Structure 1
Amino acid sequence: MATTPRPRPRVLILGGGLSGTLAAAALAPYSDTIDIVERHALPDTPQPRRGLPQARHAHMLWSGGADAIESLLPGTTEMWLSANARRVSIPNGMISLSPGGWYRRCWPEAQYLISASRDLIDWAVRAQALALPGVRLRSEAEPVRLLGTRTRITGAAIRHKDGSEESIEADLIVDATGRASRAPSWLAELGIPAVPETIVDAGVTYASRRYKAPVETAGWPVINVQADARLAGPGTAGSILPIEGDEWMVVLSGTRGGEPTSEEAQFVTFARQMRSPLIAEYLDRATPLGPVSVTRNTTNRRRHYEKAHIEGFIALGDSATALNPIYAHGMSAAAQGARALRDLASKSDVTSKGFARRAQRAISRPAAAAWLLAVSQDACFPHAVGGTRTWADRLATRYINRLITTACSDFTAVQALSDVMTLQTSGASLAHPRVVLAAVRGPRLPPLSGPALTPAEEAVLRGRPVPTTTA
């Protein structure tokens, strides 16, 4: 006698941004239906959408994140590149001033990054994920509370645009609503104890502005002036990212006491006062395309859901681990978390006892790696809140600084740091004997006196400055 096939799980995802659509991609092969609840309408093309103010700022997708997305949604990278996103080689595709000096650009590719507008990055992922069987988008609907008991979450109540409410039952609920997640209060309403939370805040403010580049941006490098936490006073930094449309997305940042402002006339002035005026010199040759956008919400906040015992509920992306955006690890950590979720779901039924906790632990591993990179830097700046530094932390910082200085003239150090920064390996790889030996040996060549520019890059600086008024 034939047995009736067991129905596959139903998944409810709260939030239709990058983390939410990646969660859908991760779970679609193992679910009958996936409902994505999103507060705002989502565009069908790469254009701005409501509810994503950070899209006005610069974004980089490190290779660790890009590879994770490609494994979840094959063909996404080609969609980005076909829409003129830029694939930038590391380190030879970067003009970068580290705390240890200017990087050389004579090495083979160690890693890469994808540079594009956030609208383009999200659009390609969204288009791919929503085309998967069983994935449904419920836009202009807002989650208002979770349903369930102290031991298991069973769904969520959502409010539609017309004010009506609907209860949606599901076997697994994924919170992907971002930094502003209300899940902690919703869980508390069900009598679930608060999860531990860690906060480290360096008081970073960052400002972004789009420019029309004076050259085609295909093949143009990322220009990066990093902060040096060893110097007295606030840490200031900046980057020029080549994006689609032959534009530059420019971001400037500063810790407490050295913050950039939204004043357009001060944007280039701020860049000129950093450790190198190179970014300002390039902006003198570019044309602003809009106002300066400023963000102060840069606190590193980690909710340790992996320590909780909540069946049927997981949090992904900024809902669980929100990182200082200036290090550009948020998207990559979320993508790797989604891939870890996919890998677990391929081995274990999402309705099985303990699945949510195992999934949260798997998601937390790449998030923890990105967290350590962010807080180890932020905790060093003056007036940082949280992140008490021990003698071991200080010793590790001295070692990393030595490795950074060595990387200016040693490919072994470049490769090791690039692998960690792009989230391709964990920080533990920096303790490999080969890497330690490179750090002990130190720089092999004298430091560069200035940036290693190509003739084409130098030619732009010799060009005529353009007006700095908004186009």
Structure 2
Amino acid sequence: MATTPRPRRVLILGGGLSGTLAAAALAPYSDSIDIVERHALPDTPQPRRGLPQARHAHMLWAGGADAIESLLPGTMEMWLRAGAHRVPIPNGMISLSPGGWYRRCWPEAQYLISAGRDLVDWAVRTQALALPGVRLLSGAEPVRLLGTRSRVTGAAIRHGDGTEEVLEADVVIDATGRTSRAPQWLAALGVRAVPETVVDAGVTYASRRYKAPADTAGWPVINVQADARRAGPGTAGTILPIEGDEWLVSLSGTRGAEPTSAEAQFTTFAGTLRSPLIAEYLKRAEPVGPVTVARNTANRRRHYEKARVDGFIALGDSATALNPLYGHGMSAAAQGARALRDVAKDSGIASKGFARRAQRAMARPAAAAWLLAVGQDASFPHATGKKPNLADRLASRYINRLITTACSDFTAVAALTDVMTLQANGTLLVRPRVLLSALRGPRLQPLPGPALTPAEEAVLLGRPVPTSAS
């Protein structure tokens, strides 16, 4: 007589973006998924507790947006219908790189989704929680993992009334973010600690929302980057057009040049960047909220792909937390979730060694985003953690050469854009045509200032926006 197959259970700790993407990845290959979330999750694109970083600028690069769409078809349409912007790159960005102002005459190479974090999360959450077998346990939190030093078999959770419940699972996924207690929980089971790498440039963020002085449809992302080659701390700023005809503005500085929460100083700090362009635009906009500050921005990578334990997976910031300056956190998590799905499709979640295989596959996109972040952060004065070696310094020199070339060469800018948006890995930058482009160097004189459209210039000057301008 045939036996009934044992149900395949997944337990996800954390109901944020990483947790709901993990649910989307494994829903087709499991019978039940429980998502344990400490805070109540709103049914609309509203702020939620436990996500203070939502008040800061988030760019969802093409590599992340495509990964999310592959996991949850229709999410892109939900974002755009709710007011998010699809921004073409490089022509939809006014960007001052360490090598100069980027030109905007090139065709679209990639894109990004510009929206408030609450909107991004809401669309993913709505889609994921509607999948068969997915159950949200809000008002509950994990307190310990269950199992042995060779296999995690579940977790104990505590509900809001103080009662505890044991939930068993074939796979436990930690998506609790930067403050994850998984290292302590695993240690309690006797699991040997995994290696950890930290690079901290001491970046502080200050962000504020503004009512835009013009319709944000078609409005560019404005980005003034830091230059680690300059003496002293690095400062940067970004204006993102988001839903509701608002701008989300984030300013940042490394140790010695940190912005504060003082509202009167926000525009003043923007004026100290390598270009005063952001400050000039802010003079034309109306603040609609307070200044919020974030300081927990260190790059921290826990190498769970080296762990000798099965049944446990860490996704997103729980495994690889990145400095938000480069906007790769959401995209790396989405690509990790897609890799998780692909391994589940190939071998099934109940197969021996599934979690370890999945963690190794998920480490690849995380490693690509990690290199992009720490390659810059480690070069700033007073950065702590792993220091650049000779190979790192030579690679940095090459990348800076390529960035300078990209200001006037489409081959270089397209390659950098593909890598920055996580649509290609770093090996693209050393292919013959890209190497030749870098060797040849800039082909045109540097732009003396930002390349503005008539509409963008009119806003800057406080004049009526030409209706026919593009």
Tell me which interval the TM-score lies in, with the shorter structure as reference length. over 0.9
Residue 387 (structure 1) shift: 2.1
Q: Tell me if the contact between 1:207 and 1:294 (Cα under 8 Å) persists in the aligned partners.
A: yes
1:378-389 mapped onto 2 (5 Å cutoff) = 378-389=377-388
Residue 7 (structure 1) shift: 3.2
Residue 14 (structure 1) shift: 0.3
Q: Tell me if the contact between 1:175 and 1:183 (Cα under 8 Å) persists in the aligned partners.
A: yes
Match of 1:302 in 2: 301
Match of 1:399 in 2: 398
Q: Tell me if the contact between 1:8 and 1:30 (Cα under 8 Å) persists in the aligned partners.
A: no
Q: Distance in 1 between matches of 2:307 and 2:382?
A: 32
Q: Tell me if the contact between 2:10 and 2:169 (Cα under 8 Å) persists in the aligned partners.
A: yes
Residue 464 (structure 1) shift: 7.1
1:230 maps to amino acid = R
Q: Tell me if the contact between 2:36 and 2:136 (Cα under 8 Å) persists in the aligned partners.
A: yes
Residue 4 (structure 1) shift: 3.7
Q: Distance in 1 between matches of 2:342 and 2:348?
A: 11
Match of 1:223 in 2: 222
Q: Tell me if the contact between 2:99 and 2:407 (Cα under 8 Å) persists in the aligned partners.
A: yes
1:186-197 mapped onto 2 (5 Å cutoff) = 186-197=185-196
Q: Distance in 2 between matches of 1:5 and 1:191?
A: 34
Q: Distance in 2 between matches of 1:82 and 1:9?
A: 36
The question of 1:43 aligning with 2:42 is answered yes
Residue 190 (structure 1) shift: 1.0
Q: Distance in 2 between matches of 1:305 and 1:85?
A: 34
1:307 maps to amino acid = K
1:271 maps to amino acid = A
Match of 2:451 in 1: 452
1:349 maps to amino acid = G
Match of 1:87 in 2: 86
Q: Secondary structure at the match of 2:405?
A: helix
Q: Distance in 2 between matches of 1:199 and 1:419?
A: 26
Q: Distance in 2 between matches of 1:151 and 1:233?
A: 48
2:130 maps to amino acid = A
Q: Secondary structure at the match of 1:80?
A: helix
Q: Distance in 1 between matches of 2:60 and 2:102?
A: 20
2:293 maps to amino acid = V
2:70 maps to amino acid = S
2:142 maps to amino acid = P
Q: Distance in 1 between matches of 2:50 and 2:332?
A: 21
Match of 2:119 in 1: 120
CA deviation map 1:6-40 (0-9, x unaligned): 23410000000000000000000000000000001
The runs of 5 or more residues in structure 1 that have no matched partner are: 466-471
Q: Tell me if the contact between 2:191 and 2:308 (Cα under 8 Å) persists in the aligned partners.
A: no
Q: Tell me if the contact between 1:285 and 1:464 (Cα under 8 Å) persists in the aligned partners.
A: no
Residue 428 (structure 1) shift: 1.1
Residue 291 (structure 1) shift: 0.7
Match of 1:241 in 2: 240
CA deviation map 1:360-380 (0-9, x unaligned): 001110000000000000001
Q: Secondary structure at the match of 1:237?
A: strand
Match of 1:377 in 2: 376
2:85 maps to amino acid = R
The runs of 5 or more residues in structure 2 that have no matched partner are: 465-470
Match of 1:209 in 2: 208
Q: Tell me if the contact between 2:281 and 2:460 (Cα under 8 Å) persists in the aligned partners.
A: yes
1:116 maps to amino acid = A
In the alignment of these two chains, the number of paired residues is 464
TM-score between both structures, scaled by the size of structure 2 = 0.98
Q: Distance in 2 between matches of 1:325 and 1:163?
A: 35
CA deviation map 1:179-210 (0-9, x unaligned): 00000001111111111100000111111100
Match of 2:60 in 1: 61
Residue 270 (structure 1) shift: 0.5
Q: Tell me if the contact between 1:341 and 1:363 (Cα under 8 Å) persists in the aligned partners.
A: yes
1:366 maps to amino acid = P
Q: Tell me if the contact between 1:175 and 1:316 (Cα under 8 Å) persists in the aligned partners.
A: yes
Q: Tell me if the contact between 1:298 and 1:324 (Cα under 8 Å) persists in the aligned partners.
A: yes
Q: Distance in 2 between matches of 1:333 and 1:8?
A: 30
1:91-106 mapped onto 2 (5 Å cutoff) = 91-106=90-105
Runs of 4+ displaced beyond 4 Å: none
CA deviation map 1:229-280 (0-9, x unaligned): 1111100000000000000000000011011111101100000011000000
CA deviation map 1:280-305 (0-9, x unaligned): 00000000011111011000000000
Residue 174 (structure 1) shift: 0.3
1:104-183 mapped onto 2 (5 Å cutoff) = 104-183=103-182
1:279 maps to amino acid = I
The question of 1:9 aligning with 2:8 is answered yes
Q: Distance in 2 between matches of 1:429 and 1:70?
A: 24
Q: Distance in 2 between matches of 1:378 and 1:442?
A: 25
Q: Tell me if the contact between 1:18 and 1:125 (Cα under 8 Å) persists in the aligned partners.
A: yes
Q: Distance in 2 between matches of 1:307 and 1:9?
A: 25
Q: Distance in 2 between matches of 1:400 and 1:301?
A: 23
1:353-368 mapped onto 2 (5 Å cutoff) = 353-368=352-367
CA RMSD of aligned residues (A): 1.0
Match of 1:440 in 2: 439
Q: Distance in 1 between matches of 2:320 and 2:336?
A: 11
Worse-matched range after superposition: 317-326 or 350-359: 350-359
Q: Secondary structure at the match of 1:252?
A: strand
Q: Tell me if the contact between 2:203 and 2:297 (Cα under 8 Å) persists in the aligned partners.
A: yes
Residue 461 (structure 1) shift: 1.1
